[in-house]
Structure 1
């Protein structure tokens, strides 16, 4: 797509595009919003992990009929999910469904300052993430999968990428539902050689408040029924 860098990918899956259209509607109830976020995350995540992961032979096992077969393991061996609070929580279950084994879930709390729209971190539970701790990066994942439904200005996503890079993640995959062209480009430029961004769709414009146009509203508010708070 024009305006996007080579490390940003927009799905063209027909079912995905139809579900994104349903998600955009103001008449879609919260229960269906949750289901649609899950379904979209599952499809985009499948495409993203199909490129990000490889396989290696595992030990021999036996089928119920007594035949031996060689098992398959995914690489890299250390993977973590990093949902951006709050709305990224709606994507976790889909990614856990895709992965063949449980992986750690580390949470990052980031919000945009209303006036400047600059990202502000208020929560971080990455292990040994503090600079100067003497063990920073010791437990960092080879692959960190950032879950954030919306990439608007790109500031929050870029801040998450910078934090994970400092933590010691060797590669980062960002899975999102919708992004603004300029915001996705800004996030992708934070670490071009180490980041791949995967989305269901993109919008061209942002409002003065930094919301996507036409967008799909505040995903966190729609998921957790806090609209009009």
Structure 2
């Protein structure tokens, strides 16, 4: 990892993540194993991200099976949303849900990259936009999940969308990123966004695909290669 990366960028050094990424890179890894590996990597990276992004607070007391009273701890912030970027972000939702102590609402963002310009086009957004002066629907923390951050344009667009929604803080979790795309995403809202990824490659090719990368994760998950 480059030593001059912004402090908001975190690339996992976990040996299990590195080994699983190598398995995920292989063209011989089928859809079932692709789904499993993404889930496992997202769980580990999610643990790292949430250990940094959440804290605990006392929410009451309870009694253990031996009849001893203890303090019940909950996580804060409590109003959290998970925002998968369709399609492939769906593969990471269950991993993040399993880590959170309380249920989190899931808001979907549908985006695709236009082939000639490589710019993101939004085609679906189910954020509950609120009335003026009513922020009750806005989450205290939004967790964006997207396996790949390549050029960074899609992640930048998602960050801008959530910022416009009114969310005060964002954690973005990915499986693999390109260095340039990570830097670009980190510049959008430096004080409001933390980016956590399982690994980082140096560059993208002319098609905007990470080298050596993981290929098109959506196609690999849903067997739509060559569509």
Q: TM-score range by the shorter chain?
A: over 0.9
1:21-53 Cα distance to aligned partner (Å, 9 max, x none): 000000011101000000000000000000000
**Contact 1:128–1:136 (CA under 8 A) maintained in structure 2:** no
Partner of 1:213: 211
Q: Which runs of 4+ in 1 moved over 2 A?
A: 133-138
1:158-169 matches, cutoff 5 A: 158-169=156-167
Alpha carbons 2:55, 2:75 under 8 Å: kept: yes
TM-score of the superposed pair, with normalisation by structure 2: 0.97
Determine if contact 2:8/2:190 at 8 Å carries over to the other structure. yes
The Cα shift of 1:136 comes to 6.6
**Between Structure 1 and Structure 2, how many residues are aligned?**
226
State the secondary structure of the residue aligned to 1:200: strand
Q: 1:99 to 1:30 in 2, by over 3 A?
A: same
Shift of 1:63: 1.1
1:157 aligns with 2:155: yes
The aligned residue for residue 14 of structure 2 is 13
Query: Corresponding residue for 1:141?
Result: 139
Equivalent-residue separation in structure 1 for 2:201 and 2:63 (angstroms): 50
> 1:4 is paired with a residue of what secondary structure?
coil
Computed over aligned residues only, the root mean square deviation of the Cα atoms, in angstroms, reads 1.1
Post-superposition CA distance 1:77-127 (Å, at most 9, x none): 210000000000000000011001111000000111100001110000000
- How far apart, in 1, do the equivalents of 2:72 and 2:208 lie? 48
Q: Report the Cα offset of residue 128 of structure 1.
A: 1.1
What residue ranges of structure 1 are gaps of 5+ in the alignment?
none
Q: Match of 1:199, SS? A: strand
> Which residue is equivalent to 1:193?
191
Task: Name the CA distance, whole Å, in 1 between partners of 2:11 and 2:165.
Answer: 27
The whole-number CA distance in structure 2 between the counterparts of 1:137 and 1:82 is 18
Structure 2 stretches of 5 or more lacking a match?
none
Q: SS in structure 2 opposite 1:189?
A: helix
State whether residues 158 and 187 of structure 1, in contact with CA within 8 Å, keep that contact through their aligned partners in structure 2. Answer: yes
For residues 15 and 70 of structure 1, what CA distance do their matches in structure 2 show?
Answer: 34
Task: Compute the displacement of 1:58 (Å).
Answer: 1.5
1:204 to 175, 197, 202: 202
C-alpha distance in structure 2 between counterparts of 1:202 and 1:17, whole Å: 10
- Decide whether the 8 Å contact of 2:78 with 2:102 is kept in 1: no
